[in-house]
Amino acid sequence: MDVNVALAQWSNLLIYSAMAVYAIAFIIYAFDLFGPAFAGDTQKADKESGGTADSQADRTDDPSIGAKSVNRTAGSRTESTAAAAGPGSAATAVLDDGDRPVDGTRDGGMGSGGAEDDGHADASTPDLRRWARAGTALTVLATAFLLGAIVTRTLAVMRVPWSNMMEYALIASAIAAVAYLVLLKFRDFRYLGTFVTFSVLLVLGLCITVFHTPAAQIIPALDNYWIWIHVPIAILSTVLLYLSAIIALVQILRSRSESKPWRGPLRFINALPGSKELEKASYRFAAVGFVTWTFTLVAGAYWAEIAWGRYWGWDSKEIWTFVVWVVYAAYLHARATRGWTPTRVAVLNLIGIASVIFNFSVVNLYFNGLHAYAGV
Amino acid sequence: MKKQSKSGAPAADIGVVGMLRWAWRQLTTMRAALILLLVLALAAIPGSLLPQRIQDPGAVSTFIEENGAWGEFLDAVQLFDVYTSVWFSAVYILLMVSLVGCIIPRTKHHLRAMRQAPPTAPRRLTRMSAYRTTPLTTQSEQRTTDELLDAARAHLKKSGYRTVRADDHIAAERGYLKETGNLVFHVSILATVIIMAMGGLFGYSGQRVLVEGETFSHSLVSYDSFDPGTFFDADSLPEFRLTLDDLETRFDDEASGAQFGQPRQFDASVTLNTPEGASEFMLRPNEPVRVDGSRVYLIGNGYAPVITARNANGDVTYSGPVVFLPQDGVYTSTGVVKIPDASPDQLGFGGVLLPTTGRNDDGELISTFAELRNPLLVMDAYRGDLGLDTGVPQSVYQLESDSMEQLVDEDGSPYQMVMQPGDTAELPDGHGSVTFEEIRKYAALDVHHDPVQVWMMPFMALLFGGLSLSLFVARRRVWVRVRGDEVEIAGLARGEDPRVDEAVEELTQVLALESLEPESADPDAGSAQNSSGK
Ligand code: HEM
């Protein structure tokens, strides 16, 4: 069976390279968050505008995705320094002015979005977040390696690159990394960099150990066009729900800091956008993720009918996909239910991602059902 | 969850009707729906931790045997039949009742809302999620209130708002589809559950193992197992005959590591005879053959050694393929042969088939690959009463050897047949001989029928469309009011609406005269938007 072994080896090599670079990016990002630079930023901003967080929270109606939000976010950076001059309308006037020049420089490459943001901020606060900029650049490099690993593996086997756990996890990491980098273009999400690079590093580590699957052809049970539909949507959902959960976690921490600022290593939390804004960002990822998860569920049922003769049979994978779906339905309901504080709702979100991860790891590896993945 | 009591226990003297009404009101709250959803998620989990009868009844009996009283307790509380259990059903039925109780009033309310005009402006528009002002007239251009409001109304209409003109303002609302989508979504969930239940009532499923060369006539008796729905009508079985001409299987002998030996191909060539005529098909995983509303699936395969047994006189007492069940990825297969016609005693053999024989590090015989490269059949032999006449149904895959005695060699050690295809073994004590003729492959087929399944598709489409509308359509109200020489433009998000501020800004731009910079938002406006009702 035609598997190009040389290419498969290249792919593995690229995974190792990506891991090495992600590791450095993670350390550097962590330094940015926990180290003195970010804290310096925090204290300075706090002093000048009475808290970046508050002024940003006012504009929570920004869409997290969309060209317009670029202006807003960039503007708010300016504002936090300009607010000292005069509160209220003066600040928003600056915001409007800030739009144009930033817009102009912003149409550059995807990965450099974060760096340019800094370029803008540097005008007033030089040298801040230099670490974050380096982290982003390294993340771009590592992600390029990761994409290279996926491409070479695909070429090695000449089939869909998501037919076992390792490939699934590789694609998921790549989507998460690319999504993060693309989002940077619209908003300064670099505080998530530490979490994203760490998660990707962890998953890649699992890929080459626990999930490792040699390059090979596909098993007949998976050899159907539904693998082109059901699986990538499942991967996408996993990533969306994961990003939502990270933000939910930050939201919980941020929400505490609003009554009692963090000290010590977590003090970077104090300078993040307000918990209300984080909650909205988290919700948006979860809402899209819920829709795609619903699609995964329905497409899975459709495929099951073709493969096993029934669309629903309470196979262990079906059970957990259903559990995940119900938990997120509960999350959406909780958001609309009086008496549920944003923090409690966010905890439901975390329970949701825990069940997603359980569904992928424990159910695949230890429960034997019809969904047994090839070779793991 | 403690909060539930907040709405108050019913007063002691409200009577049965009052109690019921109170219970109904509790059940149809959002909070009840939320709790029921969480309980449903929890209740579904045990089915993945314990073996379930719907999947593997054998594993359930083994589990109960191995765990004694604990196993019986679990059985008593239906933990091996989670999805048909009283408690699981109770949760989802309550949820469905709650859903109905929720959908009906909301539908009524929504229909009314759609017929009503958008509500007129509240007195203080500054409190809305988004708020802007712009002057009515400037040096360069004069506008009347009517002109401005007409322009505003035209723009809002074009953007999909429903508008109404009041004295000094336009009231507009958009996004009714959000609620419509939400209702469609919830109705679709209800429909899905009903269709699933009906499929179980009217459909059937049956299993049959078919060895190469054999023919299966579709009828109740020729199934190995058959599972009809409660209202299934046996006369409705479609008439057909299916012959397995050939089964081609291929496994990966080139890949390394865990991928070595993985299956790569299962192709069953079948001939289908229906009253309309004969046709040939390829039956593969993911490619069922559809016959007259029923579907035939290839769900498993394995090896069936062909065994011929003779008594001491050389008379054939048994001859035919015996289905062995693969136990692992290298098709180490186990099976039993029952020979009730043997003499002087009934005989039973139990054994293992190794498709490609090798030895492990301890020198034991094992199978190393799933294809038939170097097959070996190893069997023990038992004599005595097979117990076939007791009337208790027996599994063809298990030997009830309790009342049987194992055959032994002259030296007293257990007798074992170790054969390659073509070999003949002489049984001790004049029990005749056994010939291992050849190995044939077999296919495990499932036949399914679900008459209401076709209804699933449209409801899935509705469910999906409804959900997307519900989550992604923004519902908002907008007002444009002229107050003296000033135009107020305000927007109120109803539910999740990331764009309310932009929409108001855009409208302001449209209404502002070109030469003017619009005045920006009240910086406090942002805090109002989250209080909008859901
Ligand atoms: C099987 C049961 C149910 C499922 C799977 C389910 C699922 C969902 C989902 C996914 C949403 C999100 C849509 C959105 O946020 O706009 C939603 C919204 C909603 N559901 Fe349900 N639901 C169920 C039962 C119920 C019941 C019983 C009620 C009434 C008590 C209810 C009332 C609502 C309401 C009012 C919303 C709108 C919330 C909002 O505006 O965000 N649902 N439901």
Q: Which of B286, B294, B330 to mutate to test the interface with A (most CBs of A within 10 A)?
A: B286
> Could you tell me the CA-to-CA distances from B140 to A15, A366, B149, B158, B487 in Å, in that order?
66, 76, 19, 27, 17
Instruction: List the structure tokens of A360.
Output: 């992928």
**CATH node for B117-175+474-518:** 3.30.310.80
Q: How far does residue A300's CA lie from ligand 1's centre (Å)?
A: 23
pLDDT at A109: 32
- Write down the ipTM of this complex: 0.81
For the segment B501-524, the average pLDDT, to the nearest whole number, is 66
> B126 near B486, Cβ under 8 Å?
no
Q: Ligand 1: which of B100, B176, B470 to mutate, judged by most atoms within 8 Å of the beta carbon? A: B470
What is the residue range of A310's domain? 219-376
Q: Tell me B250's DSSP state.
A: E
How far apart (Å, rounded) are the C-alpha atoms in residues A330 and A349?
A: 9
Q: How far does residue B179's CA lie from ligand 1's centre (Å)?
A: 11
> B421 near B427, Cβ under 8 Å?
no
pLDDT above 80 (res B287):
yes
Q: What are the tens digits of pLDDT across the range B161-194?
A: 999 998 889 999 999 999 999 999 999 999 999 9
How far apart (Å, rounded) are the C-alpha atoms in residues A251 and A260?
A: 14
Nearest CA to ligand 1 atom 40: B534
Q: Is B533 in the pocket of ligand 1 (CB under 6 A)?
A: no
- Residues of B within 8 A of A213 (CB-CB) are 257-259
pLDDT above 90 (res B203):
no
The structure's pTM equals 0.80
pLDDT at B523: 41
Asked whether residue A337 is domain-assigned, the answer is: yes
Q: What is the mean pLDDT of each run of 10 residues along chain A (376 residues)?
A: 80 93 93 65 43 38 37 35 34 32 33 35 49 90 95 88 88 95 88 92 91 80 83 95 95 90 81 88 95 95 86 90 97 91 95 95 74 46
Provide the strand spans (E) within B136-214. Answer: 162-165, 169-174, 204-211
How many Å is the Cα radius of gyration of chain B?
37
String of DSSP letters for A148-185: HHHHHHHHHHTS-S-SSHHHHHHHHHHHHHHHHHHHHH
Q: What are phi and psi of B275, to 5 degrees?
A: -55, -25
- Within 4-23 of B, beta carbons closer than 8 Å to A belong to 6
How far apart (Å, rounded) are the C-alpha atoms in residues A83 and A58?
A: 14
Q: Is B480 in the pocket of ligand 1 (CB under 6 A)?
A: no
Q: How far is A26 from chain B (nearest CA, A)?
A: 32
Q: How far does residue B196's CA lie from ligand 1's centre (Å)?
A: 20
| Chain-centre distance for alpha carbon B336 | 34
> B129 near B529, Cβ under 8 Å?
yes
Interchain contact B73–A (C-beta under 8 A): no
Atom index in ligand 1 nearest the CA of residue B495 equals 40
Q: How far is A176 from chain B (nearest CA, A)?
A: 22
pLDDT at A81: 34
Which element (helix H / strand E) includes B334?
A: strand B333-339
| Chain-centre distance for alpha carbon A216 | 30
Q: How far does residue B102's CA lie from ligand 1's centre (Å)?
A: 9
Interchain contact B291–A (C-beta under 8 A): no
Instruction: Name the residue ranges covered by the structural domains of chain B.
Output: 15-112, 117-175+474-518, 204-449
Question: Which carries the bigger pLDDT value, residue B142 or residue A85?
Answer: B142
> B118 near B171, Cβ under 8 Å?
yes
How far apart (Å, rounded) are the C-alpha atoms in residues A327 and A352?
A: 6
Q: What are the tens digits of pLDDT across the range A134-146?
A: 899 999 999 999 9
Q: What are the tens digits of pLDDT across the range B72-123?
A: 999 999 999 999 999 999 999 999 999 999 999 999 999 998 898 998 999 8
Instruction: List the structure tokens of A10.
Output: 């290249």
Domains in chain A: how many in total?
1
Asked whether residue A44 is domain-assigned, the answer is: no
Instruction: List the structure tokens of A64.
Output: 């997290």
Q: Is B30 in the pocket of ligand 1 (CB under 6 A)?
A: yes
The residue to which tokens 């190009």 are assigned: A4
In this structure, are strands B404-406 and B294-310 parallel, antiparallel, or unpaired?
Answer: unpaired
How far apart (Å, rounded) are the C-alpha atoms in residues B431 and B472?
A: 77
In this structure, are strands B169-174 and B162-165 parallel, antiparallel, or unpaired?
Answer: antiparallel
Atom index in ligand 1 nearest the CA of residue B37 equals 2
Q: How far does residue B129's CA lie from ligand 1's centre (Å)?
A: 24
Atom index in ligand 1 nearest the CA of residue B178 equals 16
**Sign of the C-alpha dihedral, residues B290, B295, B299, B305?**
negative
Q: Is B470 in the pocket of ligand 1 (CB under 6 A)?
A: yes
> B380 near B347, Cβ under 8 Å?
no
| Chain-centre distance for alpha carbon B182 | 23
Asked whether residue A271 is domain-assigned, the answer is: yes
Nearest to A7 by CA among A141, A145, A150: A150
Question: From B3, which residue of chain A is nearest by alpha-carbon distance?
Answer: A339
Question: Which carries the bigger pLDDT value, residue B145 or residue B421?
Answer: B421
pLDDT at B139: 66
> B338 near B464, Cβ under 8 Å?
no
Interchain contact A366–B (C-beta under 8 A): no
How far apart (Å, rounded) are the C-alpha atoms in residues A278 and A64?
A: 10
User: B255 falls in which pLDDT band (50, 70, 90)?
Assistant: confident
Does the distance separating the beta carbons of A306 and B257 come in below 8 Å? no
Q: Mention every residue, 6+ apart, whose C-beta is less than 8 A from residue A84.
A: A48, A49
**Sign of the C-alpha dihedral, residues B429, B431, B433, B436?**
negative
Nearest CA to ligand 1 atom 6: A329
pLDDT at A24: 94
- Within 225-254 of B, beta carbons closer than 8 Å to A belong to 252, 254
Q: How far does residue B495's CA lie from ligand 1's centre (Å)?
A: 13
Task: Reduce the DSSP state of residue B18 to 3 states and report it.
Answer: helix
Q: What are the tens digits of pLDDT across the range B341-365?
A: 888 889 999 999 999 999 988 888 9
Atom index in ligand 1 nearest the CA of residue B189 equals 1
Q: Is A6 in the pocket of ligand 1 (CB under 6 A)?
A: no
- Residues of A within 8 A of B130 (CB-CB) are 61
Q: Ligand 1: which of B4, B26, B27, B30 to mutate, judged by most atoms within 8 Å of the beta carbon? A: B30
Count residue pairs from A and B with Cβ separation < 8 A.
Answer: 190
Q: What are the tens digits of pLDDT across the range B381-394?
A: 999 888 887 777 77
Q: How far does residue B161's CA lie from ligand 1's centre (Å)?
A: 25
Q: What share of chain A is helix, strand, coil (3-state, %, to 5)?
A: 75, 0, 25
> B178 near B211, Cβ under 8 Å?
no
Interchain contact A293–B (C-beta under 8 A): no
Type of residue found at B452: V
Asked whether residue A77 is domain-assigned, the answer is: no
For B78-108, give one letter per residue: b (16+ CB within 10 A) or e: bbbbbbebeebeebbebbeebbebbbeeeee
Type of residue found at A229: I
Q: What are the tens digits of pLDDT across the range A11-67?
A: 999 999 999 999 999 999 988 887 754 544 444 444 443 333 333 333 333 333 333
Partnered with residue A248 across adjacent β-strands are none
| Chain-centre distance for alpha carbon B326 | 26
